[in-house]
């Protein structure tokens, strides 16, 4: 189990946002837990100094390309990049220094999973450099993937078959528990258990981690196989969970 750090970008700044409050309507501002005085490069340099590989930079909407490039330039080949990735811009972001590219919404056409779009990604991005973000909500007992800043539920359900099928073209997965993301109210333990049971590939869980007890709970539920990232609860982002204690989770057992 590894700690995967994050740099979430909104309007060109490093922020922590309650994910479920993100909207396409610019007139409705999302709920911000934290806005950092530090630059994206500062965070990238911190993670680089501490040897925390596999972290991700996520562009939350437009207006973040410059900030994303700043982070990638501070650690070429050390960070993954997500947000607005398509087959057309993939090579440019890889050349800009992204270690891998994180994709969600492009996989879906009007909410329906598109095998043709998945194949286009496969042709544009090497398998080991493609990460699929299957962030989800629980609906009637099933975990349903959400896209378009988590506003729209899709036709894709998480299952072992889903991970096996998609794992043929990607190197790993990122899964946010949308309902608890940014709320610092504890993890979705059932989802973590499902990830350990269903996903034989590297997978990172995000959502609700607020304490070292939650990290231990995740370790047990995830059978030491599910990596994790921490947002609003981390002291780097205004929370109380010490980054210096999490950075020791560098390698998988």
Give the whole-angstrom CA distance, residue 188 versus residue 180. 7
Give the whole-angstrom CA distance, residue 66 versus residue 70. 6
The residues pairing with 139 across neighbouring beta strands, listed in sequence order, are 142
User: What is the mean predicted confidence (pLDDT) over 179-190?
Assistant: 83
For residue 145, pLDDT over 50 is answered with: yes
For residue 139, pLDDT over 80 is answered with: yes
Determine the pLDDT at residue 80: 98
Query: 81 or 178, which is more confident?
Result: 81
Angstrom distances, CA of residue 73 to CA of 38, 77, 98, 111 = 16, 9, 9, 34
Determine the pLDDT at residue 148: 83
For residue 224, pLDDT over 90 is answered with: yes
The mean pLDDT of the chain is 92
pLDDT band at 16 (very low <50, low <70, confident <90, very high): confident
Q: Which residue has 């501070």 as its token pair? A: 74
Please measure the distance between the N-terminal and C-terminal CA atoms of the chain and give it in whole angstroms: 7
Give the whole-angstrom CA distance, residue 77 versus residue 134. 23
What is residue 146's three-state secondary structure? strand
- What angle do helix axes 65-74 and 40-49 make, rounded to 10 degrees? 30
Cβ(52)–Cβ(4) under 8 Å?
Answer: yes
For residue 253, pLDDT over 50 is answered with: no
For residue 252, pLDDT over 60 is answered with: no
pLDDT band at 194 (very low <50, low <70, confident <90, very high): very high
Give the whole-angstrom CA distance, residue 187 versus residue 90. 32
What is residue 69's three-state secondary structure? helix
Percent of the chain with pLDDT over 70: 92
Buried b (16+ CB within 10 A) or exposed e, 42-73: bbbbbbbebebbbbbbbbbbeebbebbbbbbe
Determine the pLDDT at residue 40: 97
Look at strands 130-133 and 172-176 and give their pairing: parallel
Query: 177: which DSSP letter?
Result: B
Buried b (16+ CB within 10 A) or exposed e, 8-18: bbbebbbbbbb
User: What is the mean predicted confidence (pLDDT) over 165-175?
Assistant: 97
Cβ(178)–Cβ(20) under 8 Å?
Answer: yes
pLDDT band at 33 (very low <50, low <70, confident <90, very high): confident
For residue 25, pLDDT over 60 is answered with: no
Percent of the chain with pLDDT over 90: 81
Determine the pLDDT at residue 36: 92
pLDDT band at 79 (very low <50, low <70, confident <90, very high): very high
Backbone CA torsion sign across 211, 141, 105, 227: positive
User: What is the mean predicted confidence (pLDDT) over 5-13?
Assistant: 95
């Amino acid at each position: 189990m590894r700690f995967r750090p994050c740099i979430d970008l909104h309007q060109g700044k490093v922020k922590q946002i309650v994910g479920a409050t993100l909207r396409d309507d610019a007139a409705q501002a999302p709920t911000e837990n934290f806005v950092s005085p530090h630059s994206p490069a500062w965070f990238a340099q911190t993670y680089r100094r501490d040897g925390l590989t596999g972290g991700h930079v996520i562009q939350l909407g437009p207006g973040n390309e410059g900030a994303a490039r700043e982070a990638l330039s501070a650690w070429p080949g050390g960070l993954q990049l997500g947000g607005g990735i398509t087959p057309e811009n993939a090579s440019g972001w890889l050349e800009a220094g992204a270690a891998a590219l994180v994709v969600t919404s492009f996989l879906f056409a009007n909410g329906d999973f598109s095998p043709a779009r998945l194949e286009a990604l496969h042709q544009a991005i090497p398998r080991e450099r493609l990460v699929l973000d299957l962030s989800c909500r629980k609906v009637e007992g099933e975990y349903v993937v959400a896209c378009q800043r988590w506003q729209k539920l899709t036709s894709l359900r998480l299952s072992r078959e889903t991970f096996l099928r998609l794992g043929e073209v990607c190197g790993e997965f990122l899964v946010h528990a949308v309902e608890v993301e940014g709320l610092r109210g504890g993890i979705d333990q059932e989802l973590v258990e499902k990830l350990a049971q269903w996903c034989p590939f590297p997978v990172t869980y995000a959502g609700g981690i607020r304490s070292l007890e939650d990290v231990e709970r995740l370790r047990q539920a995830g059978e030491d196989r599910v990596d994790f990232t921490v947002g609003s609860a981390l002291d780097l982002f205004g929370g109380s969970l010490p980054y210096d204690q999490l950075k020791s989770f560098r390698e998988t057992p």
